């Protein structure tokens, strides 16, 4: 299958689905399409609630594309790449509609950031999480504010420092990243459908107001995340990081 981002609307529910053949990794074009699609769904009067999901059975999202990370050759290009994650997170938090996350499998780096940027996140027991950035010589600078906003400083610190450890779905639920964890994808999808259907019939203005409350204090992220993208863009140019990425790719 070829990579894609698509939006389907039915009964007031807008479902945004993305796919990349490399475990749903996030190259720049997919990030750009995701942020644009979230913004588009947010202003569509036919959509009352959004479901964000990835295709496939196994990985929810493998995070940044290693191929693109290795190809970065200047601070400017580095900032441009990492700003893609900033744009997705900012699009999600500023979207006037609730976004329901559907995490069917493992989430790494930017995938954890994406799950954190949703407003109510469902997962299966296979949806372990890892912030692997430090292990390749950078850090989760861009996604960090969204993750910390969701799980708190202590849990974010644990994910950041222990960058090679998979934290299981139960841990992620205890920390608030996931609201509910299910044994199977089918059970999860049933509950997502129930909640999305209920929200599609709820007061749009009330939901819009509640979302503002939930993301209060994050208005500075438009600037902050771009500053973080610039920092990451410089770090990725180091020999340490390039060698670490090549080792990861060779595994």
Per-residue pLDDT of the chain (251 residues; tens, 9 = 90+): 899 999 999 999 999 999 999 999 999 999 999 999 999 999 999 999 999 999 999 899 999 988 898 899 999 999 999 999 999 999 999 999 999 999 999 999 999 999 999 999 999 999 999 999 999 889 999 999 999 999 999 999 999 999 999 999 999 999 999 999 999 999 999 999 999 999 999 999 999 999 999 999 999 999 999 999 999 999 999 888 888 887 877 76
> How far apart are the C-alpha atoms of 75 and 196, rounded to whole Å?
41
Q: Is 142:113 a contact under the CB 8 Å cutoff? A: yes
The pTM of the full predicted model, rounded to 2 decimals, is 0.96
- Looking at residue 154, its pLDDT comes to 98
Question: Does domain 4-187+195-200 sit in CATH 3.40.630.30?
Answer: no
């Amino acid at each position: 299958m070829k990579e894609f981002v698509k939006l389907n609307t039915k009964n007031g529910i807008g479902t945004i689905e993305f796919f990349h053949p490399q475990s749903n990794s996030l190259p720049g074009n997919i990030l750009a399409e995701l942020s644009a699609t979230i913004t588009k769904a947010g202003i569509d009067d036919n959509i009352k609630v959004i479901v964000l999901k990835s295709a496939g059975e196994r990985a929810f999202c493998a995070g940044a594309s290693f191929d693109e990370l290795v190809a970065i050759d200047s601070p400017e290009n580095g900032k441009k790449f990492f700003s893609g994650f900033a744009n997705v997170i900012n699009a999600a938090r500023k979207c006037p509609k609730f976004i329901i996350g559907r995490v069917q499998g493992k989430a790494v780096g930017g995938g954890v950031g994406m799950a954190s940027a949703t407003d109510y996140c469902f997962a299966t027991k296979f949806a372990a999480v890892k912030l692997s950035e430090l292990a390749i010589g950078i850090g989760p600078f861009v996604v960090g504010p969204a993750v910390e906003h969701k799980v708190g400083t202590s849990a974010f610190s644990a994910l950041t420092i222990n960058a090679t450890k998979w934290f299981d779905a139960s841990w992620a639920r205890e920390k608030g990243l996931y609201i509910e964890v299910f044994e199977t994808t089918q059970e999860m999808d049933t509950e997502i459908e129930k909640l999305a259907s209920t929200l599609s019939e709820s007061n749009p203005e009330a939901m819009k107001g509640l979302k503002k409350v939930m993301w209060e204090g994050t208005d500075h992220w438009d600037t902050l995340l771009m500053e973080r993208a610039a920092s990451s863009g410089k770090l990725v140019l180091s020999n340490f990081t390039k060698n670490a990425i090549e080792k990861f790719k060779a595994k």
